Amino acid sequence: MAKNVSQSPLEKNSLSSIDQKLAMAKRCSHEGVVAGAKAAVVATIATAIPTLASARMLPWAKANLNHTAQALIISTVAGAAYFIVADKTVLATARRNSFNKNSNTEA
């Protein structure tokens, strides 16, 4: 049984507020993904060069680090960099947006 009742101004404001919050959350998470991906690329390059070089030059690394171990070292650092930077970016963006919202409501 559907009611044909128009929405009150408070309900309209809350719906637009929810839409704004969802849009902001999507933007925050997208910024986190982009920043995390950039950090993962940089970490991969920064880790791959010394890992591969040491596996070819150092006798201990040559004997103990096979290709799987090298890939595991590099991918672990890349994954950690991605999640750390993405998390920090999302939190910083959310904090910045919450401060902006508070300053807009006070004015």
Structural domain boundaries of the chain?
Answer: 14-98
Average pLDDT over residues 60-75: 95
User: How confident is residue 35, by pLDDT bands cut at 50, 70 and 90?
Assistant: very high
Residue 43, pLDDT score: 97
User: How confident is residue 14, by pLDDT bands cut at 50, 70 and 90?
Assistant: confident
Burial 18-54 (b: 16+ CB within 10 A, else e): eeeeeebeeebeeebeebbeebbeebbeebbeebbee
Q: Any idea what DSSP says for residue 65?
A: -
How far apart CA 77 and CA 82 sit, in angstroms, is 9
pTM above 0.75, yes or no: no
How far apart CA 2 and CA 53 sit, in angstroms, is 70
User: How confident is residue 18, by pLDDT bands cut at 50, 70 and 90?
Assistant: confident
Where is 60: in which H helix or E strand? helix 59-64
Q: Which of 48-57, 62-71, 90-99 has the lowest mean pLDDT?
A: 90-99
